Structure 1
Amino acid sequence: MTIQFGGLLKEWRQTRKLSQLDLGLSANVSARHISFLETGRARPSRTMVLNLGSVLELPRGSRNAMLHAAGFAPSYRARGLEEADMAPISAALEWMLERHMPYPAMVLDRHWKIMRANRTACMMLAQMGLAVDANLIEAMLDETGLPSIIENWQEVAQHLALRLRAESTHVGGDVYLDEIAARLSDQVGDAAPGPSSGSQAIVPTRYRLGEVTFSFFSTMSQFSTAEDIALADWRIEHLFPADERTREMLVALSTGKR
């Protein structure tokens, strides 16, 4: 077990681009002890595994894998939102989604599956042929779907591919995210967004729905102290109007005016 743990520890240390000395200093142990852990010459305590997982900023599922490899029971589990101790979380999600009206907001999981959405987001998704439980990034691979609706698809897709690779790197590699990023790059080219993008403070996404175009930028929120495996990967995406015309149309939709 300790040899398997050592291999995982070394892999994550290299992923985070840390030397044994760097990791030892951050974890308050010697570089020699890190070396012994990686080679299996030393057996970690449960506290040490959790300490290293925290220093390496491992996803909760990967911390469980490290604990298992070291011979310990997992510390983290995935709960359903219907469970009693998740009631405050469910209420917080609803509060954020509803308070963001009339602008769209959605809850996404690690692989961009839509878990929840407010009314405006649901209306927009319906216009795109999507709904809650759909996967946004897979929808972007369908050339007759989102790519045909997003007016500035080329630059949006290039930014998205970079973002997916960054998200994959953060969790130590995610085959699914890497595959989607590669397929997006195949569609639009692997070059980074051009220098013209630098003239803008932010790159909006422009959705053409029927006769009108909505222009949005977005922010992401996460639960900063989540111990639940699934919840730690969830993000709340808040879309904001990138121009006055979009804001006016959203307000009109919310009030029933045209």
Structure 2
Amino acid sequence: MTTQFGDLLRHWREARKLSQLDLGLNANVSARHISFLETGRARPSRGMVLNLGGVLDVPRGSRNALLHAAGFAPNYRTRAMDEAEMGPITAALGWMLDRHMPYPAMVLDRRWTIVRANTMATMMLGQMGLSVDANLVEALMDETGLPALIENWQEVAHHLVHRLRAEAAHLGGDAWLGEMADKLAGRIDTAVPGPGVGSEAVIPTRYRLGEVTLSFFSTISQFSTAEDIALADWKIEHLFPADEATRDIVVALARDMSRNPMA
């Protein structure tokens, strides 16, 4: 056996900032055994690979890579949303998106491509020149597009850089997310101070759409026990009004859309 598994194991251990002793304690094995696995002196069982992958919170697709490197068949797959097994998942996503109306909500994949969105989010995206299947990170890189519609862009960009880097780190160093974070960081005006630490309970994003400004903060949900590769990385982002004016506007918009569904 080559040391490829050991190299991957070391990569994830270091990405999670754990010593061999820390990993051994969390996985209920000795630090010596972890060392032997990393140097190729010991061969892991399938159960050990899955145990270590779980302890290190390795994404499902990367756990398959660990299994492959150790000589085992993959344990996780990506399912089509129209498979019978995914019926309850599809229903849950629809419920979360629909029940969040009149406020916007959308589902994003690991690289911020919009998988689906509710009616209010779809309307707002259309006003921004975007649609379902658009990539929000790429849209955020177009300085004449989405950033131009965000009134507090510099403030928001600081948070976006941190979020992209945190997500890249969680995925074991996703090169694309890291590259996008670096590009975005390079566009931040260093003369403009970032958000004050603790100065606000939450930093809203203020979108300028036509003659109105809509201010939202968001929450993110994920499937806590997802074993499907793609589903484990999906994020459901719910936007909430950050002020009464925004709430009144979106409530009125939703009322108009319900009266004129084809408008």
Is 1:165 aligned to 2:165, yes or no? yes
Q: Distance in 2 between matches of 1:191 and 1:48?
A: 51
Moved over 2 A (4+): 189-198
Is 1:256 aligned to 2:262, yes or no? no
Contact 1:158 / 1:190 at 8 angstroms: preserved in 2? no
TM-score by length of 2: 0.95
- Residues 192 and 246 of structure 1, relative CA distance in 2, 3 Å threshold: same
Look up the SS of the partner of 2:141 in the other structure: coil
- Aligned counterpart, 1:218: 218
Look up the SS of the partner of 1:81 in the other structure: coil
- Residues 195 and 186 of structure 1, relative CA distance in 2, 3 Å threshold: closer
State the identity as a percent: 73
- Aligned counterpart, 1:155: 155
- Aligned counterpart, 1:70: 70
- Aligned counterpart, 1:93: 93
Contact 1:53 / 1:63 at 8 angstroms: preserved in 2? yes
Alignment of 1:158-197 (within 5 A): 158-189=158-189, 194=194, 196=196
Is 1:126 aligned to 2:87, yes or no? no
Q: Distance in 1 between matches of 2:191 and 2:16?
A: 25
- Residues 29 and 191 of structure 1, relative CA distance in 2, 3 Å threshold: farther
CA RMSD of aligned residues (A): 1.5
Ranges in structure 1 where 5+ consecutive residues have no aligned partner: none
State the one-letter code of the partner of 2:125.
L
Structure 1, residues 106-139: CA drift from partner, whole Å, max 9, x if none? 0000000000000000000000000000001110
- Aligned counterpart, 1:146: 146
- Residues 4 and 236 of structure 1, relative CA distance in 2, 3 Å threshold: same
Aligned residues: 257
Look up the SS of the partner of 1:110 in the other structure: coil
Q: Distance in 2 between matches of 1:149 and 1:64?
A: 41
Q: CA deviation at 1:22?
A: 0.6
Q: CA deviation at 1:80?
A: 0.9
Q: Distance in 2 between matches of 1:211 and 1:193?
A: 28
Q: Distance in 2 between matches of 1:155 and 1:254?
A: 29
Is 1:245 aligned to 2:223, yes or no? no
Q: CA deviation at 1:11?
A: 1.1
Look up the SS of the partner of 1:34 in the other structure: helix
- Aligned counterpart, 1:201: 201
Q: Distance in 1 between matches of 2:218 and 2:182?
A: 23
TM-score by length of 1: 0.97
- Residues 86 and 151 of structure 1, relative CA distance in 2, 3 Å threshold: same
State the one-letter code of the partner of 2:20.
Q
Look up the SS of the partner of 1:140 in the other structure: helix
Q: CA deviation at 1:28?
A: 0.5
Q: Distance in 2 between matches of 1:188 and 1:232?
A: 31
